[in-house]
């Protein structure tokens, strides 16, 4: 778990604070609507999008069911190409491995490609504790780092910032990290980009160690793949003498040919582009070309536990396109910070509670951070049924039950604060299996409809705090059906 998010409040509390920030909501609404519209146009250009989506889903599902075999093949291929593979069971072990590898080079600074995996494990903080400074080189990640902020979006980590805020961050913070911002810097996108370019260029030319993630890893050849839009990633991947890549074990794909599908679906779903401006691939090391030393750190950190759940494992198909965030009405209003994870939005609501468990207040609340509208499933390029997994996780939170944690089969206890929900569900189950009781209850509710309260008392107040109680009809449907058909209702 990333220590940055330890002790965060439950999603409803964090979201309530975000909803009060008008500037944040405006930034999010503008950005998500713009990306959403562009993505829809890019996807509409592809006549076989449904077939590509199905192919991506099947490739990922096939790989997850044979993950042990493909990971062993990946290790063999990377090693044969001159790289070294390291295995990390959790975040702490991954951080120890990377810190040791950097120390062995004798360097005290590294340049980084944007990487969700390194954010997940809190690598920057671990390196800082060891006296090693990590420089983020992605523009949005640079903004977040300079502002001592946290990412709020998978694709656009600084989506919650507008241009004026970015200008102010550059003006006040850049000098403390290297080359200062130019005098008189405005909020023009061109000037902001040029300020970042000048600031980062000296770091690219000086750094001896680069750290990256990987969008895909090809088991067949040992090839790593990083897709990006700015070119900073390619600088980090080619200029340093030592390259360390940190990736979750689920990023592997079986063959080179499998990349064809994802290199079509990922850019259209994420940046609404036909292809990524920069697609970098490297296989081990090559004399006289690129880094002389390559290390691959494969991270589990809860992924094997997630794999054991036949419903929840589909979250591991995710290719981090962020399309689900851009269509989610909850994310649009609450923003990414409320999710208490580097994985915000719908995918974060199902991935974080599986990787970290549901013991903490924030993780137990994430499966409820959704209206279950299904928009996320409709846009997912690998057909992850996020609503299905959310319902599964809600059941786990309320009822507890069997699960796998740290490789061991355990029986989870129900989360605190859900006793009333369990009682309500059991009462509903009894009522729906006793037709006479259901009919009587419906008739009583109709006759007392004028007494309908605006909010529910006791534990029900939490439900009506964010919802309106529906109007009660003057006549139950069963009675209306029987009356309009001119006789008794049919029974089977």
Assign 463 a pLDDT band (cuts: 50, 70, 90): confident
Which pLDDT tens digit goes with each residue over 208-227?
A: 999 999 999 999 999 999 99
Distances (CA, A) of 135 to 73, 126, 426, 492: 32, 13, 53, 69
Q: Which residue has the higher pLDDT, 270 or 416?
A: 270
Angstrom distance (rounded) from CA 383 to CA 132: 40
Distances (CA, A) of 393 to 152, 269, 380: 23, 26, 19
Half-sphere exposure in the Cβ direction for 368 (13 Å, CA): 21
Q: Is residue 32 a contact partner of residue 325, using CB atoms and an 8 Å limit?
A: yes
Angstrom distance (rounded) from CA 191 to CA 189: 6
Looking at 128-137, 415-424, 441-450, which range is the least confident one?
415-424
What DSSP element (H or E) covers 44?
Answer: helix 22-44
pLDDT of residue 5: 57
pLDDT of residue 487: 56
Q: What is the pTM of this model?
A: 0.89
Is pLDDT above 90 for 425? no
CB atoms closer than 10 angstroms to residue 487: 8
pLDDT of residue 6: 57
Residue 11: which of 312, 412, 332, 349 has the closest Cα?
A: 349
Question: Which tokens go with 176?
Answer: 């403390």
Residue 250: which of 157, 295, 312, 337 has the closest Cα?
A: 312
Q: Is 362 exposed, middle or buried (0-12, 13-18, 19+ CB in 10 A)?
A: buried
């Amino acid at each position: 778990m990333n220590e940055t998010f330890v002790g965060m409040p439950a999603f409803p509390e964090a979201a309530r604070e975000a909803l009060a920030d008008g500037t944040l909501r405006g930034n999010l609404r503008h950005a998500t609507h713009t990306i959403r519209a562009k993505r829809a146009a890019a996807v509409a250009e592809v006549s076989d999008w449904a077939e590509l989506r199905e192919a991506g889903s099947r490739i990922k599902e096939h790989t997850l069911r044979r993950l042990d075999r493909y990971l062993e093949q990946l290790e063999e291929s990377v090693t044969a190409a001159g790289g070294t593979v390291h295995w990390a069971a959790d975040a702490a072990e991954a951080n120890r491995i990377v810190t040791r590898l950097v120390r062995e080079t004798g360097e005290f600074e590294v340049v980084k490609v944007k990487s969700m995996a390194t954010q997940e494990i809190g690598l920057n903080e671990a390196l800082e504790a060891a006296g090693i400074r990590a420089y983020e080189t992605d523009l949005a990640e640079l903004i977040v780092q300079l502002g001592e902020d946290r990412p709020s979006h998978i694709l656009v980590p600084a989506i919650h910032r507008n241009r004026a805020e970015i200008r102010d961050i550059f003006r006040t913070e850049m000098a403390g990290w290297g080359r200062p911002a130019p005098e008189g810097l405005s909020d023009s996108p061109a000037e902001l980009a040029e300020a970042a370019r000048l600031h980062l260029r000296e770091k690219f030319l000086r750094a001896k160690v680069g750290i990256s993630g990987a969008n895909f890893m090809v088991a067949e050849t040992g090839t790593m793949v990083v897709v990006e839009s700015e070119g900073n990633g390619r600088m980090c991947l080619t200029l340093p003498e030592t390259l360390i890549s940190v990736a979750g074990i689920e990023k592997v794909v079986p063959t080179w040919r499998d990349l064809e599908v994802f290199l079509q679906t990922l850019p259209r779903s994420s940046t609404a582009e036909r292809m990524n401006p920069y697609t970098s691939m490297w296989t081990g090391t090559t004399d006289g070309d690129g880094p002389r030393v390559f290390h691959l750190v494969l991270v589990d950190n809860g992924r094997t536990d997630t794999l054991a759940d036949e419903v929840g494992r589909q979250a591991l198909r995710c290719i981090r396109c962020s399309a689900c965030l851009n269509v989610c009405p909850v994310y649009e209003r609450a923003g990414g910070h409320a999710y208490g994870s580097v994985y915000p939005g719908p995918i974060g609501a199902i991935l974080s509670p599986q990787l970290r468990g549901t013991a903490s207040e924030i993780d137990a609340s994430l499966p409820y951070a959704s209206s279950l509208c299904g928009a996320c499933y409709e846009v997912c390029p690998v057909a992850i049924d996020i609503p299905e997994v959310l319902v599964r996780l809600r059941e786990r939170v309320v009822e507890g039950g069997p699960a796998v944690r740290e490789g061991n089969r355990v029986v989870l206890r129900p989360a605190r604060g859900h006793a009333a929900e369990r009682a309500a569900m059991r009462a509903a189950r009894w009522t729906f299996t006793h037709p006479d009781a259901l009919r009587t209850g419906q008739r009583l509710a109709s006759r007392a409809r004028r007494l309908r309260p605006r909010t529910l008392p006791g534990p029900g107040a939490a439900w009506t705090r964010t919802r309106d109680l529906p109007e009660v009809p003057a006549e139950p449907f069963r009675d209306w059906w029987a009356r309009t058909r001119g006789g008794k209702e049919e029974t089977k």
